[in-house]
Amino acid sequence: GDSVTQMEGPVTLSEEAFLTINCTYTATGYPSLFWYVQYPGEGLQLLLKATKADDKGSNKGFEATYRKETTSFHLEKGSVQVSDSAVYFCALRNSGNTPLVFGKGTRLSVIA
C-alpha cells in the first residue's frame, strides 16, 4: 500500500538556521503530496501542497518540490523562527476520494 517516510526527529535549530525535513513516499499512480503542521495543542493545518511532478508548493517561507524521479517531497525553509516550532507531517493522497496517508511526523524546536 501507499506509505510515507519522513526523517525522525526531534530537530533542534537556532533561529535563522536553514531547515530541511526529508520526506519520501511509495505510491502507485500519481499522488498529491502535502505538508501539514501541528502547533502545540492544536489540530493539523495544511502548510503547502503539490499535485503533480515538478510542482513547487510554498507558504510562509516554506517550500517543497514534488520530485517524481526520487519520490521525494522535502520541506525547506531558509531562515526559521521560534514561531515555527511545531510538528510537521508529510502526507499523500492517491486520488480524490481516498484518505490521506501520513508520515510519523517530525518535531521541530527553534531556539532563540
Partner 1 sequence: NAGVTQTPKFRVLKTGQSMTLLCAQDMNHEYMYWYRQDPGMGLRLIHYSVGEGTTAKGEVPDGYNVSRLKKQNFLLGLESAAPSQTSVYFCASTLGDTEAFFGQGTRLTVV
Closer residue to partner 1, CB minimum distance, 90 or 110: 90
Q: How far is the CB of 45 from partner 1 (least distance, A)?
A: 7
Closer residue to partner 1, CB minimum distance, 70 or 95: 95
Assess contact for 15 and 110: CB atoms under 8 A: yes
Q: How far is the CB of 29 from partner 1 (least distance, A)?
A: 13
72 CA to centre of own chain: 10
Q: How far is the CB of 77 from partner 1 (least distance, A)?
A: 20
Q: What gap in Å lies between CA 3 and CA 80, rounded to an integer?
A: 28
Binding residues for partner 1 (CB under 8 A): 32, 34, 36, 42-46, 49, 51, 89, 93, 95-97, 99-105
**Half-sphere exposure (Cβ direction) of 39: Cα atoms closer than 13 Å:** 6
Q: What gap in Å lies between CA 25 and CA 12, rounded to an integer?
A: 24
Q: How far is the CB of 99 from partner 1 (least distance, A)?
A: 5
Assess contact for 94 and 25: CB atoms under 8 A: no
Closer residue to partner 1, CB minimum distance, 27 or 100: 100
Closer residue to partner 1, CB minimum distance, 17 or 55: 55
Phi and psi at residue 2, to the nearest 5°: -70, 145
